[in-house]
């Protein structure tokens, strides 16, 4: 494989240790293993003589054919018997070599939405004798892409032109607003909001507190829990403020499991601001898959609903956290943010801002 100078300079530059950590294969390794790359180099390292060693992704190589002859290295100069073409003179290549080196004629570049900005660098000759001039795509200007829907106007956002994007956005916004302003007639006492505080963010971490309130804002359960394996959690302690000392006499998750199951079984809907992490821990209180599935069917993610609302109304928010949601709807916190009870109540307030008629019936 031969790369143009422009393409060589775009290959990420790393050190040998990083290449080894990523299990990348050098050109020499490919030769010894009788492999050939099927993609561009993934990285390169600089050598003392000013040249580079190129590395390839091991998932993008294949076994070399029996009669395969390895060409020159990417870092090598042209062989002595084939000196580079003099400055200003184009070199001749085959059509196959041209595509491999990222060289294309004007009509192909236009179809790919590129425009040449420099003189052709090579050419090949068709069987008819016609000479086809080739341009380096890396040195070409990228042309604006057309709308993926109408195919006419230039893309504005999400692969669509402004007109198509705004029309599609209006449809999504109308459907979203219809869902959010609907009357659901849910029983406030059987719609529960919950939040957990954890020793960390991974599945192997443990629960430190559980808070559950109902649609009336009444506390159904609020308790600290004592982890069984971990003795400290410095990183998350800085966020939620729960120390090992605070939970040393608290019940374990196993101790409160019967109570949790009873509470969740009575609920019609379970709502949290980000349900995936909490559910990955709460699912362990159930013994069977059927029980876990029944709980999962009751879950509703307030964070997802807030994200839909923001994207449909094109609100310029760079983050979509619970704090961002509270600020956007001008809601006041009850308690200290990032504690489970305060976050649970905040989730309830955000959800009612998104779904103002969730607990109402049209018949009322």
User: Helix/strand/coil (H, E, C) string of 5-49?
Assistant: HHHHCCCCECCHHHHHHCCCEEHHHHHHCCEEECCCCCEEEECCC
* pLDDT, tens digit, 9 for 90 and up, residues 266-300: 999 999 999 998 999 999 999 999 999 999 999 99
pLDDT over 50 at 81, yes or no: no
The highest-confidence range among 13-27, 28-42, 206-220, 306-320, by mean pLDDT, is 206-220
- Percentage of the chain beyond pLDDT 70 is 90
C-alpha span between 175 and 177 (Å, rounded):
6
Quote the tokens at residue 128.
Answer: 């008819």
Rounded CA-CA distance 173/310 in Å is 10
Give the residue, 9 or 147, on which the prediction is more confident.
147
Can you give the pLDDT at residue 316?
Answer: 86
Q: Which of 54-63, 126-135, 263-272 has the highest mean pLDDT?
A: 263-272
Residues 217-253 pLDDT 10s: 999 999 999 999 999 999 999 999 999 999 999 999 9
**pLDDT band of 164, cuts 50, 70, 90:** very high
By percentage, how much of the chain surpasses pLDDT 90?
62
Q: What is the mean pLDDT of the chain?
A: 88
pLDDT in tens, 312-331: 998 888 889 999 999 999 99
Q: Give the confidence band of 71 by pLDDT, cuts at 50, 70, 90.
A: low
The Cα–Cα gap between 82 and 89 comes to 14
Q: What is the predicted pLDDT for the residue at 82?
A: 44
The angle formed by the CA atoms of residues 226, 231 and 232, to the nearest 5 degrees, is 105
Q: What is the mean pLDDT of residues 86-101?
A: 81
The Cα 224–Cα 250 span in angstroms is: 6
Q: Which residue has the higher pLDDT, 224 or 76?
A: 224
Which residues, 6+ apart, have CB-to-CB distance to 320 below 8 Å?
Answer: 303, 306, 307, 310
Query: Does 89 score more than 60 pLDDT?
Result: yes
For the cut 60, the answer to whether the pLDDT of residue 85 exceeds it is no
Q: d(Cα 8, Cα 76) in Å, to the nearest integer? A: 12
Q: Which secondary-structure segment (H or E) carries 197?
A: strand 191-198
Give the predicted TM-score (pTM) of the model: 0.66
| pLDDT at residue number 363 | 60
- Res 80: pLDDT: 39
Instruction: Name which of 34-38, 128-132, 196-200, 289-293 the model is least confident about.
Output: 34-38
Question: For 350-356, what is the mean pLDDT?
Answer: 98
Angle, alpha carbons 84-87-90 (nearest 5°): 70
Q: What is the mean pLDDT of residues 15-28?
A: 82
Between 53 and 11, the higher pLDDT residue: 53
Quickly state the pLDDT bin for 76 (edges 50, 70, 90).
very low
Q: How far apart are CA 334 and CA 241, in angstroms?
A: 16
Is the pLDDT confidence value at 303 over 90?
A: yes
Q: Provide the angle, in degrees to the nearest 10, between the axes of the packed helices 302-313 and 162-180.
A: 140
What number is the average pLDDT over the span 52-79? Answer: 68
The predicted pLDDT at position 27 comes to 84
> What's the confidence (pLDDT) of residue 9?
58
């Amino acid at each position: 494989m031969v790369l143009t100078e422009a393409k060589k300079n775009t290959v990420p530059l790393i050190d040998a240790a990083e290449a080894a950590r990523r299990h990348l294969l050098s050109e020499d390794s490919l030769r010894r293993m009788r492999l050939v790359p099927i993609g561009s180099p993934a990285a390169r390292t600089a050598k003392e003589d000013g040249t580079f060693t190129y590395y390839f992704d091991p998932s993008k190589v294949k076994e070399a054919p029996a009669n395969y002859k390895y060409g020159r290295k990417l870092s090598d100069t042209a062989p002595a018997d084939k000196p580079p073409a003099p400055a200003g003179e184009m070199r001749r290549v085959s059509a196959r070599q041209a595509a491999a080196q990222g060289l294309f004629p004007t009509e192909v570049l236009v179809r790919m939405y590129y425009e040449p900005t420099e003189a052709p660098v090579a050419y090949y000759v068709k069987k008819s004798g016609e000479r086809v001039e080739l341009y380096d795509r890396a040195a070409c200007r990228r042309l604006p892409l057309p709308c993926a829907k109408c195919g006419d106007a230039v893309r504005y956002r999400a692969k669509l032109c402004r007109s198509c994007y705004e029309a599609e956005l209006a449809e999504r916004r109308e459907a979203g607003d219809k869902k959010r302003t609907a009357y659901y007639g849910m029983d406030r006492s059987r719609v529960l909001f919950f939040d957990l505080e954890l020793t960390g963010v991974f599945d192997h971490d443990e629960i430190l507190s559980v808070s559950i309130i109902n649609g009336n804002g009444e506390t159904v359960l609020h308790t600290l829990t004592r982890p069984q394996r971990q003795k400290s959690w410095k990183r998350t302690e800085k966020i939620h403020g729960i120390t090992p000392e605070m939970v040393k006499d608290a019940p374990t998750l196993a101790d409160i499991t019967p109570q949790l199951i009873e509470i969740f079984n009575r609920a019609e809907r379970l709502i949290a601001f980000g349900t995936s992490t909490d559910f990955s821990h709460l699912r362990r209180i159930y013994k069977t898959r059927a029980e876990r599935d029944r709980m999962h069917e009751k879950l509703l993610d307030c964070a997802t609903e807030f994200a839909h609302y923001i994207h449909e109304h094109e609100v310029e928010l760079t983050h979509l956290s619970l704090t961002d949601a509270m600020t956007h709807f001008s809601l006041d916190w009850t308690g200290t943010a990032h504690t489970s009870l305060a976050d649970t109540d905040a989730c309830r307030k955000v959800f009612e801002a998104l779904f103002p008629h969730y607990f109402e019936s049209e018949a009322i």
